[in-house]
Amino acid sequence: MTTTMHPDDLELFEYVEGDLDEARRPGVSAHLDACERCTEEVRLLEAGKEALRASPLLALPPKTKDALLRGLPRQIKRERAPFSVSLRRLVAVLAPVAVVAIAVTAILSTTGNGDSERAAVPAEPAAAEALKSVEETGAAAAQAPAAEAAPTAEAAPTAEAAPAAQDVATPSLGATAQVRAVAGPPEEVVALLREKGFDATVVEGTVQVRGADPAAVEQALAERRDGDVPVVLMP
């Protein structure tokens, strides 16, 4: 008789959710018709569900969202691209080339007719100006600290517009900084690393480890792979 065997929690839950298979549903229904205790359980389950589902989603305050998007630091790749060069180095290489090109253009122009000579005059300042702006961008990128003076959506080109910027090593981390991501919280990761003799500290939600062998750190954190806390290996 159904009234003597109460359905278990899982059955009652699946009954309320409409997930109970067809074979068991009539039995549980019949039991509920006769059992006050289980009927009360179902009533509570439905009331709890209703209260929770009536609660709205809350919106992240716009100020927080704006501050977040304005303050995104530069992402750090796990490994540097094999052909990556810093903007500063790019400017250093390209500057003499540009100067020679301008000089050649000027010489060729003076050997041609008068029209082309006049046309060549404004070309040099324009090229110099363009070069200067590249140089300034490069210098700004090289001087920007890791998190504080991060490029903003308005003030800096996006990575799509300037893919080279993504390959510039973040200066404050040093050119050889390497990054892993592990399961946090950062304080526990630091405690674990210190236990094993590493020089580790929490900096702005990331874990920084100084002067450690990357393979040894990898091994020490093997249990915590695939998390979201960046571990930065400093030289």
Helix (H, G, I), strand (E, B) or coil at 161: coil
Q: Which of 5, 24, 26, 65 binds other proteins (CB under 8 A)?
A: 65
What span, in angstroms and rounded, lies between the C-alpha atoms of 115 and 86?
40
DSSP letter, residue 170: P
Closer residue to other proteins, CB minimum distance, 22 or 63? 63
- Does 208 help bind other proteins (rule: CB under 8 A)? no
What span, in angstroms and rounded, lies between the C-alpha atoms of 34 and 25?
15
Nearest distance in Å: CB 50, other proteins? 9
Closer residue to other proteins, CB minimum distance, 109 or 170? 170
Q: Which of 189, 190, 208, 230 binds other proteins (CB under 8 A)?
A: 230
Nearest distance in Å: CB 33, other proteins? 21
Distant-in-sequence, close-in-space partners of 62: CB < 8 Å, separation ≥ 6: none
What span, in angstroms and rounded, lies between the C-alpha atoms of 10 and 36?
18
What is the footprint of other proteins within residues 110-169 (CB under 8 A)?
A: 153, 158-160, 163, 165-166
Distant-in-sequence, close-in-space partners of 197: CB < 8 Å, separation ≥ 6: none
Closer residue to other proteins, CB minimum distance, 53 or 113? 53
Applying CB under 8 A, which part among 9-17, 87-95, 131-139, 210-218 lies near other proteins? 9-17
- Comparing C-alpha atoms, which of 171, 150, 162, 158 is closest to residue 70? 150
Query: Helix 36-53 and helix 25-34: axis angle, to 10°?
Result: 110
Applying CB under 8 A, which part among 40-48, 80-88, 100-108, 216-224 lies near other proteins? 40-48
C-beta separation of 169 from 79 below 8 A: no
Nearest distance in Å: CB 84, other proteins? 13
Peptide bond into 185 cis (omega under 30): yes
Closer residue to other proteins, CB minimum distance, 77 or 196? 77
Closer residue to other proteins, CB minimum distance, 26 or 205? 205
- The two tokens of residue 58 are 């809350």
- Does 44 help bind other proteins (rule: CB under 8 A)? yes
What span, in angstroms and rounded, lies between the C-alpha atoms of 222 and 108?
64
Number of residues that bind other proteins (CB under 8 A): 58
Binding site for other proteins (CB under 8 A): 9-10, 12-14, 41, 43-45, 47-49, 51-53, 55-61, 63-65, 67-69, 71-78, 153, 158-160, 163, 165-166, 179-181, 183-187, 205-206, 226-230
